[in-house]
Structure 1
Amino acid sequence: MKRLAKKEDLCTACHACEDACSKLYFKEVNSLKASLRIKVNDDESKTIITCTQCGRCAEVCPVEAIYQDKKGIYRIRKKDCVGCLMCVAACPENAMFQHDALLEPFKCVACGICVKECPTGAIFIEEF
């Protein structure tokens, strides 16, 4: 199984990962539509917020719209999602995202597009 992993000390907060993600999935550069987020903390350290594939979102989904695929990645069946956002509230990583322009929440599916764009290697795909 794979997931997006991180080395936050390497992150420069260039946001290339967010731009690549939102462009691939939503056809626009919009950090609020990226499935990972880079947060710059008060002490200038960076926090990379991304899904760890823990499955908590699937556990709380009342309509079972979130499932684990054969590769171990939790995915959302948009046609089944009712937009209750219980998964957003339950995510221990705060990595299930919601945007007002969309009915369904969204999350990282470890596609790796952000990894290709990261100039420092702060994010990478890891087997777990």
Structure 2
Amino acid sequence: MKILQKIEDRCIACSACEMACSNAYFKVRDREKSAIRITEKGQDKKIHVCNQCGDCIDVCPVMAIRRDAQGVVRIDKKKCVGCLMCVGFCDAAVMMQHDDFHEPYKCVACGICAGVCPAEALYIDKEAQVEPLERVTFFK
């Protein structure tokens, strides 16, 4: 499985990854239009990015979300109806939504952000093993 891995101790919160992502996919340099988000709390930095767990696949009512041959979870924009159930369902809050777009978006492990990170806090792992997140079940 191909995923973007992070080494948060190395992150310097320079936003280079966020700018590269938004520029590559939306042709703007805007943190709010990036599929990777960096947050800071004091000296601690957190890198928020999809780990390709696939929990969002089953929640899509129109089956617009699938896993490709490399294990990357992708959204088919032609099938997506913009209900945003996947955004609300994502425990890691890495399924993104912006008012400028009908469809949600997420990291597809392209590696553009890793290529511009001056601290080498990001890298692509093509042999990762990822378990789905634990989920609290309210209904049986």
TM over 0.5: yes
Counterpart check, 1:119 vs 2:123: no
Q: Which residue pairs with 1:13 in the alignment?
A: 13
For residue 20 of structure 2, what is the amino acid of its counterpart? A
Give the CA RMSD over aligned residues.
Answer: 0.7
For residue 104 of structure 2, what is the amino acid of its counterpart? P
Distance 1:121 1:92 in 2: 26
- Residues 100-120 of structure 1 deviation map (CA, whole Å, 9 limit, x = unaligned): 000000000000000000011
**Which blocks of at least 5 consecutive residues in structure 1 are unaligned?**
none
Q: Which residue pairs with 2:102 in the alignment?
A: 103
- Residues 29-71 of structure 1 deviation map (CA, whole Å, 9 limit, x = unaligned): 0110101100011x32000000000001111001000000011
TM (norm. structure 2) is 0.89
Q: Which residue pairs with 1:26 in the alignment?
A: 26
Q: Which residue pairs with 1:73 in the alignment?
A: 72
Alpha-carbon deviation of 1:90? 1.0
Q: Which residue pairs with 2:136 in the alignment?
A: none
Alpha-carbon deviation of 1:92? 1.7
Distance 1:64 1:23 in 2: 28
For residue 86 of structure 1, what is the amino acid of its counterpart? M
Distance 2:56 2:16 in 1: 27
Distance 1:92 1:56 in 2: 9
Task: Quote the sequence identity (%).
Answer: 54
Counterpart check, 1:85 vs 2:88: no
Report the structure number with the largest CA radius of gyration. Answer: 2
- Residues 67-114 of structure 1 deviation map (CA, whole Å, 9 limit, x = unaligned): 000110000000100101110111121100000000000000000000
For residue 60 of structure 2, what is the amino acid of its counterpart? C
Q: Which structure carries more helix by proportion? A: 1
Q: Which residue pairs with 2:59 in the alignment?
A: 60
SS of match in other structure, 1:39: strand
Q: Which residue pairs with 1:48 in the alignment?
A: 47
Distance 1:92 1:109 in 2: 17
**Greater than 3 Å deviation, 4+ residue runs:** none
